[in-house]
Chains A and B, each alone.
Chain A
Amino acid sequence: MKLLVCVSKTPDTTAKISFNADNSEFNGAGVQYIMNPYDEWYALVRAMELKEATGGTVTLINVGPAENDTVIRKGLAIGADDAIRINCNPKSSLYVAKQIAEFAKDGGFDIVFCGKETIDYNGSEVGGMVAEYLGMPFISFASKLEMDGNGATITRDIDGGKETVGVATPFVVSAAKGLAEQRIPNMRGIMQARRKPIDVKEPVAFDDLSTVVSYDMPPAKAACKMLDPEDMDELVRLLHEEAKII
């Protein structure tokens, strides 16, 4: 099977967030970046498992600048065979999806994996966009994926529960928690990753239809009101009368 895994780079959740002077851009200086956990832990590892079970190849794709190569190398160290980077600084999800679809359309991939969402912007949209551009079915939030015959049986998260569906290849799937178990790259993987190719391609032209124009910090939270642990009637009263919730 030919498998494509879309991998993105995000600031680590613990990173300190700041912006440039006029708040129009994220300030990446000194920020610790990681591979988006849904891409690394679930999408890529499940793709590796399928390859190990049935043979084939796992290709990574990232739409981003040269700095992203460190994240791509980590994916190669986990075991992907090769990688493509579309060399640009994307500003919108449609732009990213367009680049991925352009690369994938003649690639003969059986499954295109992406993550459920990026943990910085939480879009949950690139997978559906890629599927639409490729004319493939899209299965969102997969927590289990087994191949059978010429397709797959996938369990996915839906509102209020789970649903199990069948779909024929090729398709696009987004990976949620449970799809696989995180793998830590070993020394051999890291050494091999250095020699694996990252093919850099230029993007196709596409106009951004959405862009972030400014950032803001959320209003500071008022200090926490500490209550007497002996007096929970007071907490209930405050929730009722002050917070007006219960």
Chain B
Amino acid sequence: MSVLVFAESQGGQFKKSAFEAVTYGYKTAQVLGTECIAICLGEAGNAADLGNYGASKVLSVADSALNTVDSQAYTSVIAQAAEKNGASVVVLMHSATGKGIVGGLSARLNAGSAPGVNQIPTNDGAFRVKKNVFSGKAIAEVELTSDVKVISVMGNSFQPEVVGSPATVETFAADVPAARITVKSVDKVQGSVPLPEAEIVVSAGRGMKGPENWGIIEELAELIGAATACSRPVADTDWRPHHEHVGQTGVAIRPNLYFAIGISGAIQHLAGVNSSKVIVVINKDPEAPFFKAADYGVCADLFDVVPRLIEAFKKRKANS
């Protein structure tokens, strides 16, 4: 028996989420009294490091065909590793890559699945794990009854924890199926941190009045190493690029800190951001619904408050 964790890499490097996934896998393995094995696909530089987070060994499938994400190929290789290593649980991240695999993998392995979980499973007579549902308005406990189970973990639910030392890396000889999808081009968002992975997000809405006013938002974000985001009408009117749109119909995020500036806090917006750990709302309307979801609130004109906040962060930086 084992817990198998797919550790995602990009351009040969692990992302923080890979360490989150291994941390989750390690804790799940402890619940089940078994070991945690990691698998990395394609080029992956420092695979042994996954041992630091609790992987007892790392399987590496360094086939260049796996350098681009092909859901079918990934599904097939992970399924082969799960079978060879007697995995009872397969852990993925609930990232774009993970979401592309989670369904196919559970069908392939005839495994019950729990996509987008945010807690470690329990195993007292039954294997159960929790996730947020109904736009964060409720928590569902899912029971998985199959021999093999597939779980995908919400990003930023678990901080990576160093519990061990570098692991041995073994080459895993897998049958990589011929690609049925050809990649024509890849267009990465340049520069800043990708929104779903950002730990701090500065987000602004229609209260900004127009795209020409976004300078203060970008300045604040850059100062504190945050990604920028926006409400849907802002993206729909092309004030900001579509990939910044958060909410029910945009990206769902759960950063450690979310600044909502000039955003009313409609339920469809909250649906994508209310799992953030700390929410700061800046809005001139004391009745704005967002204050109900906030930890800290500033009720005033954002064009006064944001520059002041920038100064305050600069002062703090200079003094630390």
Contacts and interface: CB of A to CB of B under 8 A. Distances in A.
B128 A213 contact: yes
A245 B199 CA distance: 9
A152 to B, nearest CB: 11
B100 A224 contact: no
B138 A232 contact: no
Nearest to B224: A246
A157 B143 CA distance: 30
Nearest to B127: A210
A106 interface: no
Contacts of A178: 242
Contacts of A227: 296-298
B293 interface: yes
A17 interface: yes
Contacts of A127: 103
Interface in A1-16: 11, 13-14
Most chain A CB within 10 A, of B100, B111, B138, B267, is at: B100
B271 A177 contact: no
B112 A210 contact: yes
A224 B281 contact: yes
Interface string A116-141: 01011111111111111100011111
Given A163-B187, A238-B296, A209 B146 contact: yes
Given A163-B183, A236-B312, A236-B313, A229 B300 contact: yes
Interface residues of B, number: 97
Contact of B102 (A124, A164, A238): A124
A166 B184 contact: yes
A20 interface: no
Interface of A: 11, 13-14, 17, 19, 37-38, 92-94, 97, 117, 119-133, 137-141, 153, 157-168, 177-178, 208-218, 221-222, 224-227, 229-230, 232-233, 235-236, 238-240, 243, 245-246
7 closest Cβ pairs, A-B complex: A128-B103, A209-B112, A125-B103, A229-B300, A210-B112, A132-B107, A161-B188
Interface of B: 8, 10, 15, 68-69, 71-72, 75, 94-97, 99-108, 110-116, 126, 128, 130, 132-146, 180-189, 194, 196-197, 200, 224, 242-243, 245, 248-250, 252, 256-257, 267-268, 271, 277-278, 280-281, 291-300, 304-305, 308-309, 311-313, 315-316
